[in-house]
Structure 1
Amino acid sequence: MTDIGISPRQAVPRVDSTRLVLILVCASQFMVILDSSIVNVALPTIQHDLGFSASGIAWVVNGYLLTFGGFMLLGGRAADLFGQRRVLIGGLALFTAASLVSGLAMAPGVLVAARVTQGLGAALLAPATVAVLHTRFTEPNARARAFGAWSASGGVGGMAGALAGGAITTGLSWRWIFLINVPIGAILIALAWMALSGKQIRNKATLDLAGAITGTAGLALLILGVMRTADHSWASPSVLGAMGAGVLLLVIFTVVQARFAAQPLMPLRLFGIRRVALGGGMLLLFGGIAVAMWYFTSLFLQNVLGYDAFHAGLGQTPAAVMFLVIARVAAALLPRIGARAVLLAGCACLVVGFVWLAQAHAGSAYLTAVLGPTLVIAIGIGLTFPTLMATTTAAVSDSDAGIVGGIAGTANQSGGSIGLAALAAVAAAGTAHESGQSPAVGLATGYSVVFLLAAGLGVAIAIIGLLLPRNHIDS
């Protein structure tokens, strides 16, 4: 059996059950990703009930995504400095309290503020779960299985959001898409209190305040600028202003980290670790692949084949199940054949699946034109995503596990935001070229271009993956 090369770490006293820890981090990741998508179907009902404006209702989603992506680096470093248990429980408490306020909100401003706070809780929670996996599962096989389960739980959360949002809104009330988090969050807080008891790995360094301000604000403004492309052109002042300010702050952040910070928020030395640098870049590209698969496939089913939102979700369920299965398979393969081989196999499936999906058109049958290729793509995602996460986070010390988890999460989240905006623009441009055809034909053409570009992202990840060592993660 080939060792994937995760070097031994300092032992952490374990008065907890590893099974409980795995349940805790998987359930936390599921809840965080679920709340990225569950609200989408309920937006029209929320707008009507609370009196949102047409532009204001988007902030019920964007407020969450903005703070989730913008504060993840800060959340990751906080886990290193103040302890994984403390930050994870704090993130859960903040997320749960904000969910309660969201469910009880009677005014638009209250709901948006609560969703922003929810995103902040998620930004603390998500990298802390990665850090817990890194430090609690030190044996190579166990770590690979843990990352496979964690990755699968996030994928299921994303898919479950579309189905659960519609069912809860129709059967109960939109308020329950938030209120349901309250008992779940309370249970997870109690579980974290028990499962993560014992000595916690903490740094004695102080938080880099200048880095925290410039880095967090820069990421938030950059993501805000990308989000604004949904309603404005890329050349509009509102988009360029936000993105320009974000880039400027990130440049300042980099200078502060390199020259002035005694205890940097994001130590640049981490990017001297080949797997952190390459893994972060590949996760950035992978964010676009995930958007192409789940978001644009759903649009194809609805806008081209005429499915409603609920049945579009059902149409993607087989792929979600395949992803669950293959993520566990990837966990078994990693210790045997190494990260690079698993990654390249996953990329091959992504390229084949997206090229196949790009052939779908307005007269296509679901089974051959959508189900077949999405199952192949799901195999690719199931092999690729847990491998990228395990690869990126493995070659670092326990004291940097949180910030590397934040880097990985930020790269993936930012890649998804940028990918959504860029691919939506490509789809619109491709559709415009078919303006003389029926709407379904024109839309199918635009989506085909998106799927071909996603195949190109798979090729790019494979090329970068060739730079990884053949077997050993800590090389």
Structure 2
Amino acid sequence: MSEAMSSAPPQGSFLATGRGRVTLALLCAVTFLDVMDGAIVNVALPTIRSHLGFSVQNLQWVVSGYLITYGGFLLLGGRAADLLGRRRLLIAGTALFAVSSLACGLADNQGLLVGGRLAQGFGAAMMSPAALSILTTTFQDSDRHKALGVWAGISGMASAAGLLFGGVLTEDFGWRWVFFVNLPMSALVLFGALRILEADHGRSVPGGFDAFGAVLATAGMLLLIFTLVQAPNDGWGSGRTIGGLAVSAALMVAFLVNEQRRAHPLVPLSIFRIKGLAAADATQVIAWAGFYSMFFFVTLYMQNVLGYSQLQSGLSYVPVSVGIGFGSTMATKMFIRTGTRPIIVTGALLAAGGIFWLSRIPVDGTYLGNLLAPLVIMGAGLGLLYAGVQTAANAGVPQDQAGLAAALITASFQLGSALGLAVFSGIAASRTNHLLAAHTPPKEALTAGFQQALLVSALCLLVAGAIALRASNTRGESATSEPQQNPQLSYDPA
């Protein structure tokens, strides 16, 4: 690998070479696998519940278990990739992901399935930041813009693809195959990582590894996401929810104090002064609160109101993938001319318009009349926004902090998803229950709840666009090999 790269002329395009394209395909396969696994299980949940005897309340852990450990361990995984070696973390995470996927597919009781999902999330938390940081340090200049655009497009399409594959596999082969499908993909990633990626050994850290900071950050993130996931069941005003949020906040404050005092912290706080990174992470949190909940409510609407089968629901998202691909492709071509700010704002407005249109869904709706056009518009907006955010979050990041930057933007995705689902499902349930108490027919009550939640989701995208308006307008400057001494602030009034 090193010989192939060093033999290329300095001004040449590595992405134009066969090895460069294969490297990008391998890294995109990692994000596809991780993101898809968060969605593929959703349409199989009714079948899993009947086969393993889950209660309605406990069934959520089949989805939430993956989300909690994935989001909770991302900061640790990203920094470990910088310190221990990115390829090494990618291989270890993929191996754990594959083994836990096999355990999930073979599970004959609830505990084994949920335990396997927790382990899957931990594996993904190692894989994702390692792969993204390999991408941002391997490709440079225009290659980097194109690679990030492709990465963003694949990541965005993975959720829709997960719903499609989940429906097909569950209906034709059984629910266990939503986990078994990960095995051949994981094997390809492991083979490619060993044969294609250059070995790296991380870097030594004077003063040792910040173990205390790692414990504080991981505990704080785990507790925060766990509390958000449980909030709709426990109630937002309950002692468990308030206590969980308070303890999580205390842990994160203690983490920040620890990082300020450490000579060699787990998360150097100076990283947030890098141009565009903080605003990109904030935009990601707010935007994905709207996007993730939108997929959730539209899927429920199709199945519980329109009576779609699992397969029909999955196939309904195929045009969304086309929209996402179009948006991310356009973003890739526009970065150098316009910078990231117009791309992110345009994507947010398009997505907000599409989701607002979806908030008008009627009880007697049809796919062609009420879902197809707004889903495609939303998908195009998602592709633009996600590609812009990924580029803004990784531009100008020193190579020795690339894994951390990748972990931060991915953690923003996970935190936004958990936050949106927790808050908006409560909004939908409150509206539906109020109407049911007034003897409104169930389908009408459900639809009204979905409408209200989707309207708030659209407002989230408008807020994300407003944040992006104040963000710096980076054009995806390449990462430098050394940490910046005087990084620019994250806001640019121009």
Normalised to the residue count of structure 1, the TM-score between the two structures is 0.91
Aligned residues: 464
Q: Cα–Cα, structure 1 residues 44 and 400, in superposed 2: closer, same or farther, change >3 Å?
A: same
Partner of 1:392: 393
CA deviations 1:318-353 (Å, max 9, x no partner) are 122211222122111112221111112112212322
Looking at structure 2, the residues matched to 186 and 366 of structure 1 have their Cα atoms a distance apart, in angstroms, of 37
Looking at structure 2, the residues matched to 109 and 429 of structure 1 have their Cα atoms a distance apart, in angstroms, of 31
Looking at structure 2, the residues matched to 199 and 216 of structure 1 have their Cα atoms a distance apart, in angstroms, of 25
Partner of 2:454: 451
8 A Cα contact 2:78 2:126, kept in partner:
yes
Partner of 2:130: 128
For residue 24 of structure 2, what is the amino acid of its counterpart? L
For residue 154 of structure 2, what is the amino acid of its counterpart? S
Give percent identity, aligned residues only: 35
Q: Cα–Cα, structure 1 residues 319 and 300, in superposed 2: closer, same or farther, change >3 Å?
A: same
8 A Cα contact 2:103 2:116, kept in partner:
yes
For residue 222 of structure 1, what is the amino acid of its counterpart? L
Moved more, 408-417 or 93-102: 93-102
Moved more, 391-400 or 340-349: 340-349
Q: Cα–Cα, structure 1 residues 405 and 345, in superposed 2: closer, same or farther, change >3 Å?
A: same
For residue 456 of structure 1, what is the amino acid of its counterpart? L
Q: Cα–Cα, structure 1 residues 131 and 203, in superposed 2: closer, same or farther, change >3 Å?
A: farther
Looking at structure 1, the residues matched to 340 and 58 of structure 2 have their Cα atoms a distance apart, in angstroms, of 44
Moved more, 350-359 or 325-334: 350-359
Looking at structure 2, the residues matched to 225 and 316 of structure 1 have their Cα atoms a distance apart, in angstroms, of 30
Looking at structure 1, the residues matched to 390 and 370 of structure 2 have their Cα atoms a distance apart, in angstroms, of 30
- How far 1:235 moved relative to its partner? 1.7
CA deviations 1:131-166 (Å, max 9, x no partner) are 011101112x22122112212222332122223223
Partner of 1:59: 61
8 A Cα contact 1:96 1:185, kept in partner:
yes
Partner of 1:5: none
8 A Cα contact 1:223 1:243, kept in partner:
no
Query: Equivalences for 1:327-366 in 2 at 5 Å?
Result: 327-366=328-367
Looking at structure 2, the residues matched to 331 and 316 of structure 1 have their Cα atoms a distance apart, in angstroms, of 23
Looking at structure 2, the residues matched to 369 and 174 of structure 1 have their Cα atoms a distance apart, in angstroms, of 30
Partner of 2:3: none
Query: Equivalences for 1:227-266 in 2 at 5 Å?
Result: 227-259=229-261, 261-266=262-267
Looking at structure 2, the residues matched to 462 and 54 of structure 1 have their Cα atoms a distance apart, in angstroms, of 36
Partner of 2:6: none
**Which of 447, 452, 469 lines up with 1:466 in the alignment?**
469
Moved more, 370-379 or 350-359: 350-359
Looking at structure 1, the residues matched to 357 and 46 of structure 2 have their Cα atoms a distance apart, in angstroms, of 34
Looking at structure 2, the residues matched to 313 and 169 of structure 1 have their Cα atoms a distance apart, in angstroms, of 11
Moved more, 355-364 or 270-279: 355-364
**Which of 78, 101, 104 lines up with 1:102 in the alignment?**
104
Looking at structure 1, the residues matched to 351 and 95 of structure 2 have their Cα atoms a distance apart, in angstroms, of 38
For residue 357 of structure 2, what is the amino acid of its counterpart? W
8 A Cα contact 2:359 2:454, kept in partner:
yes
**Which of 89, 108, 116 lines up with 1:87 in the alignment?**
89
**Is 1:284 paired with 2:288?**
no
Looking at structure 1, the residues matched to 453 and 51 of structure 2 have their Cα atoms a distance apart, in angstroms, of 35
Q: Cα–Cα, structure 1 residues 375 and 256, in superposed 2: closer, same or farther, change >3 Å?
A: same
For residue 264 of structure 2, what is the amino acid of its counterpart? Q
For residue 104 of structure 2, what is the amino acid of its counterpart? S
Query: Equivalences for 1:211-222 in 2 at 5 Å?
Result: 211-222=213-224
8 A Cα contact 2:338 2:475, kept in partner:
no
Q: Cα–Cα, structure 1 residues 454 and 22, in superposed 2: closer, same or farther, change >3 Å?
A: same
Partner of 1:3: none
For residue 176 of structure 1, what is the amino acid of its counterpart? W
Normalised to the residue count of structure 2, the TM-score between the two structures is 0.88
Partner of 2:416: 415
- Structure 2: gaps (5+ residues): 1-9, 478-487, 489-494
SS at match of 1:17: helix
Partner of 1:36: 38
SS at match of 1:229: helix
SS at match of 1:57: helix
RMSD: 2.5
Partner of 1:184: 185
8 A Cα contact 2:32 2:154, kept in partner:
yes
CA deviations 1:333-379 (Å, max 9, x no partner) are 11222111111211221232222222222233432322111211111
Looking at structure 1, the residues matched to 307 and 85 of structure 2 have their Cα atoms a distance apart, in angstroms, of 50
Q: Cα–Cα, structure 1 residues 113 and 428, in superposed 2: closer, same or farther, change >3 Å?
A: closer
Looking at structure 2, the residues matched to 430 and 192 of structure 1 have their Cα atoms a distance apart, in angstroms, of 49
Looking at structure 1, the residues matched to 44 and 257 of structure 2 have their Cα atoms a distance apart, in angstroms, of 43
Query: Equivalences for 1:111-126 in 2 at 5 Å?
Result: 111-126=113-128
8 A Cα contact 2:205 2:264, kept in partner:
no
Partner of 2:151: 150
Looking at structure 1, the residues matched to 370 and 45 of structure 2 have their Cα atoms a distance apart, in angstroms, of 30
8 A Cα contact 1:148 1:386, kept in partner:
yes
For residue 316 of structure 2, what is the amino acid of its counterpart? G
SS at match of 1:359: coil
Q: Cα–Cα, structure 1 residues 55 and 440, in superposed 2: closer, same or farther, change >3 Å?
A: closer
CA deviations 1:196-218 (Å, max 9, x no partner) are 12556635353210111011011
Looking at structure 1, the residues matched to 204 and 328 of structure 2 have their Cα atoms a distance apart, in angstroms, of 33
- How far 1:440 moved relative to its partner? 2.5
SS at match of 2:226: helix
Looking at structure 2, the residues matched to 99 and 266 of structure 1 have their Cα atoms a distance apart, in angstroms, of 30
- How far 1:228 moved relative to its partner? 0.8
Q: Cα–Cα, structure 1 residues 220 and 453, in superposed 2: closer, same or farther, change >3 Å?
A: same
Moved more, 204-213 or 434-443: 434-443
Looking at structure 2, the residues matched to 335 and 201 of structure 1 have their Cα atoms a distance apart, in angstroms, of 31
Partner of 2:47: 45
Q: Cα–Cα, structure 1 residues 220 and 352, in superposed 2: closer, same or farther, change >3 Å?
A: same
SS at match of 2:316: helix
Looking at structure 2, the residues matched to 88 and 421 of structure 1 have their Cα atoms a distance apart, in angstroms, of 30
Looking at structure 2, the residues matched to 97 and 132 of structure 1 have their Cα atoms a distance apart, in angstroms, of 23
